[in-house]
A and B are shown apart, each in its own frame.
Chain A
């Protein structure tokens, strides 16, 4: 079974802090994704990565950056956290094959005070 772990389930940070959210997969999947989930807005794609050192902007990249130095790890960085970045953050990997579906990690609920 695929395992996707995220570094924290709950995180509380202060405005202006630099925040790192880590996502680690235990298989050799190339495609990894970061979403944020807010009530009434569904899931919105922040960034995704096809491979090591590769990254692509999603729909809402402003205020975020990412890092993928190793295939198994995809980090989301909030350079200077703001209160409007309070949200649930979900990491996902993509299977290959005919289904090509996404498998999600447990999520990190971030609160910025």
Chain B
């Protein structure tokens, strides 16, 4: 069974600071996805990473993929309150998605 681990599970950070969320997975995979979830809402797609070395950026968020290390990172630059949410990574294997447990991010003024 494919396992996907995220850390940290909870993250409290001050506005303006940088931080990285890590996503490790246990077997090879072609694709990795990052989602955002606001409280009480559904999941919203952030990034799709399709190959080793892929890097994508949107605003203050940047995601990267290292398929050899089976690791993806989501880097937050100069955090703002609007980024407070839960972030999930998901790995695509055999037409199924396997999700991490999520990282709950709180950005404090």
Contacts and interface: CB of A to CB of B under 8 A. Distances in A.
A105 B42 contact: yes
Nearest to A35: B99
B48 A99 contact: yes
A77 B30 CA distance: 32
Contact of B43 (A44, A90, A100): A90
Contact of B96 (A42, A45, A101, A107): A45
Interface size class of B (residues with CB under 8 A): 20 to 34
A43 interface: yes
Interface residues of A, number: 24
A101 B45 CA distance: 8
B42 A101 contact: no
B101 A40 contact: yes
- Do most interface residues of chain A lie in helix, strand or loop, or is the interface mixed? loop
A104 B43 contact: yes
B42 A106 contact: yes
B85 to A, nearest CB: 14
Contacts of B50: 98-99
A105 B42 CA distance: 7
Given A99-B50, A100-B31, A101-B33, A42 B42 contact: no
User: Which of A31, A59, A100, A106 has the most C-beta atoms of chain B within 10 angstroms of its own C-beta?
Assistant: A100
Nearest to A102: B97
A90 B4 CA distance: 19
A12 interface: no
Contact of A43 (B48, B88, B92): B88
B42 to A, nearest CB: 5
Contacts of A45: 96-97
Interface of B: 1, 4, 9, 31, 33, 41-45, 48, 50, 88, 90, 92, 95-97, 99-102
